[in-house]
Amino acid sequence: MFQHTIFSFAFGLVSMLLAADGRLVWSKLVLLLIALLAARTGANAINRVIDAEIDEANPRTRTRQIPQGKMTKREALLFSIICFAIMLVAAAFMNRTSLWLAPVALFFMVIYSYTKRFTAFCHLVLAFTCAMAPAGAWIAMTGTVSWTAIFLAGANMFWVAGFDIIYGAQDVDFDRSHGIHSIPAALGVAGGLLVAKLFHVIAFSCLVIVGLLVPQFSWIYWGGLLVIGILLMVEHAVVRPDHLAHAEIASYNVNELVSVVFLLTGVLDIFI
């Protein structure tokens, strides 16, 4: 699931390079990519297993692999176990602290799929799990954390939570009728979109703080933030409570661009 891995990989790579003072450690970079790719793919696979019955009942997700019979739950579970094992091995090769903390990340990757059954804060659980990428990348390089890593994680967390709420707004009627919890289901689509805007303001503020904490960041980073700010405004402009036709474009396609912009400008500014 490289397309979805980019959401965490961009923050993880920038965090790793900052922790290493701009030194590109190829072995750690390869391990980071393997760990994030395996973790995201495994998390998606286990989510498909846990939510198989919900996916089959929801017209929007009925075309996924398990409801369509293209993959069995047992096959998907085995695949997720293999992915998680690869993640743990990659963490072990980084350092001992990474290995000790990897099961914590693994726990949240699995528990997230259950949270929608009892709390509207499921978006934040998913986002917290994604935010472990920049924090974990910093730990992989230094064995410690810093304020820069914390605010990178905060930006990653509230950014993901915001666009996951937009994505979830498509299923309000289904969620309410099937007892599925989400912020849009709890507050209504209008309320959910307002919370998503607030979360993205917090995320953008965290990125501003990162820019202030890192003295080597120049106009390249700040220019990237300007583009990211515009993309976030576009994201919220194309979705309205009475018009969710572009919700998937806003929640995924636009944010894939945000990831790429942050990755390119952050990495370029570190090296130039």
Tens digit of each residue's pLDDT (9 = 90 or more) over 156-190: 999 999 999 999 999 999 999 999 999 999 999 99
Residue 1 in this model has a pLDDT that exceeds 80:
no
Give the CA distances from residue 38 to residues 8, 93, 243, in Å, rounded to whole numbers and listed in that order: 12, 15, 35
Residue 28 in this model has a pLDDT that exceeds 90:
no
Contact 67, 61 (CB under 8 A): yes
Distance CA 19, CA 137 (A): 8
**69 φ/ψ sector (left φ>0, alpha ψ -120 to 50, else beta):** left
Structural domains counted in the chain: 1
What CATH number has the domain bearing residue 197?
Answer: 1.10.357.140
- Return the SS3 of 240: strand
Residue 91 in this model has a pLDDT that exceeds 90:
yes
| Sequence-ordered list of residues with C-beta below 8 angstroms from that of 217, at least 6 positions apart, any chain | 210, 211, 269
Residue 2 in this model has a pLDDT that exceeds 70:
no
For the segment 118-134, the average pLDDT, to the nearest whole number, is 95
For the segment 240-246, the average pLDDT, to the nearest whole number, is 89
pLDDT of residue 221: 97
Domain ranges, residue 173: 1-271
Of 17-26, 115-124, 129-138, the range with the lowest mean pLDDT is 17-26
Residue 5 in this model has a pLDDT that exceeds 80:
no
pTM: 0.93
Mean of all residue pLDDT scores within the chain? 93
For the segment 47-56, the average pLDDT, to the nearest whole number, is 94
Residue 261's pLDDT band (cuts 50, 70, 90): very high
For the segment 115-122, the average pLDDT, to the nearest whole number, is 96
- HEC per residue, 175-226: HHHHCCCCHHHHHHHHHHHHHHHHHHHHHHHHHHHHHHHCCCCCHHHHHHHH
Contact 162, 194 (CB under 8 A): no
Of 179-188, 249-258, 259-268, the range with the lowest mean pLDDT is 249-258
Give the CA distances from residue 223 to residues 197, 217, 266, in Å, rounded to whole numbers and listed in that order: 21, 11, 10
Distance CA 136, CA 177 (A): 38
Instruction: State what percent of residues in the chain have pLDDT above 70.
Output: 99
pLDDT of residue 249: 87
Residue 98 in this model has a pLDDT that exceeds 80:
yes
Name the residue with higher pLDDT: 36 or 165: 165
**Smallest Cα–Cα separation from 11: which of 167, 209, 148?**
148
**Smallest Cα–Cα separation from 36: which of 230, 247, 263?**
263
Residue 250's pLDDT band (cuts 50, 70, 90): confident
Contact 197, 162 (CB under 8 A): yes
| Sequence-ordered list of residues with C-beta below 8 angstroms from that of 235, at least 6 positions apart, any chain | 163, 166, 200, 250, 251, 254, 255
| Sequence-ordered list of residues with C-beta below 8 angstroms from that of 106, at least 6 positions apart, any chain | 39, 84, 87, 88
Count of beta carbons in the 10 Å neighbourhood of residue 88: 18
